[in-house]
Chain A
Amino acid sequence: MENKFDRGSALSIFGSDRREDFMALIFALIIAFGVFFFV
């Protein structure tokens, strides 16, 4: 896929891998605490 986006890269909506990693970490923590409190 050619890069036709002025933000992020062809493989990610985030500008850097580091940012994507942190977002994944935040999502994982939200899910983990969601499971902890509601399941």
Chain B
Amino acid sequence: MVYTKKSPALLIMGIIMLAIWYLADSGILAPYIEHLANGKKYKYGSELSTLPLYFGVFSAIFGAWHIFGSHKEGALDYYSSTVAGGIFILLIAMLVRWFIAPEVAVISTGMGKVGDTGKYIHKLLGLNYVVIGIVTGIVIVNVFRVPEWAQNGVRLSRLGLKTGVILLGTLYSAAELTNLGGLSIVMIGFFVLGSVGMVLWIGARRKIPNSMGGVLSAGMGVCGVSATVASAPVVQAKSVEIAYTIGTILLWGVGCMFVFPIIGNLLGMTHVQFGAWAGTGILNSAQVAGAALAYQPDGIETLKVAEIFNITRVLVLPIIVLWLAVWYVKREESVTETVNVGRVVFEKFPVFVLGFILLFALSTTGMFAPANHYKGKFFGNTADSGFKEKNLLKPEQATVLSGELGKIQREDRKAAVTALIQNGKIMSIEHDDAVRGLVNAKILSKDANKVLKKSHKAVRHTAKKIKSFRKWITWLFAFGLVGLGMQITVGAMKQAGGQPAVIGGIVGFTKAALSLVVVMLLIQTTI
């Protein structure tokens, strides 16, 4: 079978990208960009002046080869045919991120704030590029269908997500991982084991087959699709039971991906709280990432927390497979076929999790961000540090902070803000961490937080390499999530139904509600 289609689509997409670059770079788009900026600074200027140029040239050359080249069956044809679909996803992600999502924000801002919430409707509903991108994907596949020339490449989206998760390993410090790791082990341990046990218990009461209960419990408890696939041979699940489980996970996960950010916004959750909740309560890895980025589209803090919880959950997989193996053999006396649990775990364990750990290990050596980038070179007294005088706190800014000191409960945060008011700048890394924590905790007013953020930026700059990683990760996730939307078909969700959907609904809701309560009660810290 020859996969490469002699279609002009890739060439046309390349030309569209080049046109976007030209219009933006020549200034023709400037008035429209100013309109999209809505009185603020347009965030995507640097992306607009580079990405469409690089990918436009690449797509135009590859597209011409698709049309005029000769294609024979083989690996080259198979893999090169995926380029058109990949660029199709990328182009949608670009249009949504640079133009459609900002336009939605402009319209929403024009409509005013919603009632007593004090928030605009796009903020409340999380209508940012992540959510709009996923919805666009869902609409394309269910209403228009994915064009034939793009169908092969749309299957690249999961590869993009996995690459993004592995690269996330570069962004954690050992201290963050220790803090979050301890918390995630406790929460995940409780909720994973709890939901597996709950599915098995309800399944027995409702008399569903043991194989169905087993595979559904792994899917609901651990990490969605990969856990389902890993546990299937252990409980001898049939194809239809695997399909039911995946359908249930998909149906529940897609709902959570859209509902979680809305609840998070209504409750004013911090990045750590929301990340912990999404990483615990949402079933499938891709949807965890979707919800986290939907909650904080222009930052990576929530995604970092959510992924730590998600990865901890994947690490529990061997224990669950072992548990199910013992449980299944005990309940099914007729089991004659022996399954090598160790081999199943070895064969099905997701290697990308080990990749994440590898990149984290490389990062801790300091190869991506020299230690002094984290220490910040502008701490200490003004004359020696090279700190610019103009960045010192203005008297009116100091007054804003002084007026809100009473709201701060924690001593370390109070001390940090007091020192900031006295010195006009943040003097140490510990104080800087405390100030960042205070901002993320959303305790102070918007104005006070603005002052704190400015003070933080004045003393601490992110290393260039880390900035570059963040961009790569954001784009890999944007690519993966738009593609994910294109794989959410009504047909796949219809695979859920009957008892598995009822049990999945009960357990999924319980897990989401309980983990929300635990997160709101226990997590006050920040990263």
Give chain A's interface residues, CB within 8 Å of chain B: 1-2, 4-14, 17-18, 20-25, 27-29, 31-32, 35-36, 39
Dominant SS among interface residues on chain B = helix
B166 and A39 contacting across the interface, CB-CB below 8 Å: no
Q: Nearest CB to that of A22 among chain B residues?
A: B351
B348, CB-defined interface residue at 8 Å:
yes
Q: A1-B489, A28-B163, A28-B167 are in contact. Are A35 and B469 (CB under 8 A)?
A: yes
* 4 nearest A-B residue pairs (beta carbon): A24-B162, A21-B351, A28-B166, A25-B355
How many Å lie between the Cα of A8 and that of B3 in the bound state?
A: 13
Q: A17-B229, A36-B465 are in contact. Are A28 and B159 (CB under 8 A)?
A: no
A24 and B348 contacting across the interface, CB-CB below 8 Å: no
**Residues of A contacting B159 in the complex (Cβ-Cβ under 8 angstroms):** 12-14, 20, 23-24, 27
Q: A1-B141, A28-B163, A28-B167 are in contact. Are A21 and B151 (CB under 8 A)?
A: no
Shortest beta-carbon distance from B144 to chain A in Å: 14
State the total of A-B contacts with C-beta under 8 angstroms.
88
B350 and A21 contacting across the interface, CB-CB below 8 Å: yes
B408, CB-defined interface residue at 8 Å:
no
Report, as a range, how many residues of chain B touch the other chain: 35 or more
How many Å lie between the Cα of A2 and that of B350 in the bound state?
A: 24
How many Å lie between the Cα of A2 and that of B163 in the bound state?
A: 25
Shortest beta-carbon distance from B321 to chain A in Å: 15
A13 and B155 contacting across the interface, CB-CB below 8 Å: yes
B270, CB-defined interface residue at 8 Å:
no
B1, CB-defined interface residue at 8 Å:
yes
A28 and B152 contacting across the interface, CB-CB below 8 Å: no
Can you identify 27 A-B contacts, CB atoms within 8 angstroms?
A: A1-B151, A4-B151, A5-B152, A10-B487, A11-B155, A11-B158, A12-B159, A13-B82, A13-B152, A13-B159, A18-B351, A21-B352, A23-B159, A24-B163, A24-B165, A24-B355, A25-B352, A28-B163, A28-B166, A28-B359, A31-B472, A32-B167, A32-B368, A36-B367, A36-B368, A36-B465, A39-B468
**Residues of B contacting A21 in the complex (Cβ-Cβ under 8 angstroms):** 162, 350-352, 355
**Residues of B contacting A13 in the complex (Cβ-Cβ under 8 angstroms):** 78-79, 82, 152-153, 155-156, 159
Q: A4-B151, A18-B347, A24-B352 are in contact. Are A39 and B465 (CB under 8 A)?
A: yes
For window 129-167 of B, CB contacts with A under 8 Å fall at 141, 146, 151-156, 158-159, 162-163, 165-167
